[in-house]
Structure 1
């Protein structure tokens, strides 16, 4: 199935309030999410917005699976866990879903545990140190 058609179907199901599982593509969320993992998504609810949560967002006509690193009353900043510099800016209306689980092989890892969000925040805040380590190696 072509990617555009698949993603349209995903958006339709989420819009109906259904949970959807999709496969992770790319390495921007390493080490927490790896290419080939599957994530369980649920429709986004504003009350669940906090730093550290991983969301599916629309950006420039594509879907992006990244972590919330900052937000205010109108905008949300997202970043991939593997990205050392880049942050994306989206509006609240662009957030489609929240990751609530990860399937790696047969095992399921729940992502709605608050400590996982904190771990993601620490990883994000360690970006300057990670850049230094990358330059040294």
Structure 2
């Protein structure tokens, strides 16, 4: 493809970088090594915020459950950290549907080979003190915290939908 100025170069370079980084992360996880990743973006708020650090490890797909936080390589090669909301069977293959907690629309389903790992630790940045505290999602207290955050998210979604319905019927 010919070079058509800076915008095309930046776009091509960012796609190249995303593919290279996801490939490197995949190699690390496939060797059984835990991977710590600093999070960017807002799609997983309030559970995970920008600058939080998550620890991901490779797990067999049989151990992946609805509600787990998964690191996925999407079809463009970018890494996405979203929650598993559904497992569907299509033509003998299991398709995994994920969604960001603060998003309304789920992601395109992916097959098991696109699942790079499962989040099992979240290190929350305390911006006022510039330090972290850790949530181990494999511990009982971590699971309680995680469940409470999911419940909080459901309440927030319910409130937004309730307000929209109330406005609609008030007309």
TM-score computed with the length of structure 1 as normaliser: 0.81
Higher relative contact order, chain-length normalized (CA < 8 Å, sep 6+): 1
Q: Which runs of 5+ in 1 are unaligned?
A: none
Gapped runs of 5+ residues in structure 2? 1-13, 126-131, 167-171
Which has the higher Rg, Structure 1 or Structure 2?
2
C-alpha RMSD of the superposition: 2.6
Query: Which residues in structure 2 correspond to 1:48-127 (within 5 Å)?
Result: 48-60=63-75, 61-73=77-89, 74-105=94-125, 106-113=132-139, 114-115=143-144, 118-119=147-148, 122=151
Q: Which has the higher strand share?
A: 1
Corresponding position: 1:42 with 2:71: no
2:28 aligned counterpart, secondary structure: helix
Query: Following TM superposition, by how much is the alpha carbon of 1:97 offset from its aligned partner in structure 2, in angstroms?
Result: 0.4
Q: Which residue of 1 aligns with 2:7?
A: none
Aligned match of 1:20:
35
CA contact (8 A) 2:96 2:109 kept: yes
Displacement of 1:125 in angstroms is 5.3
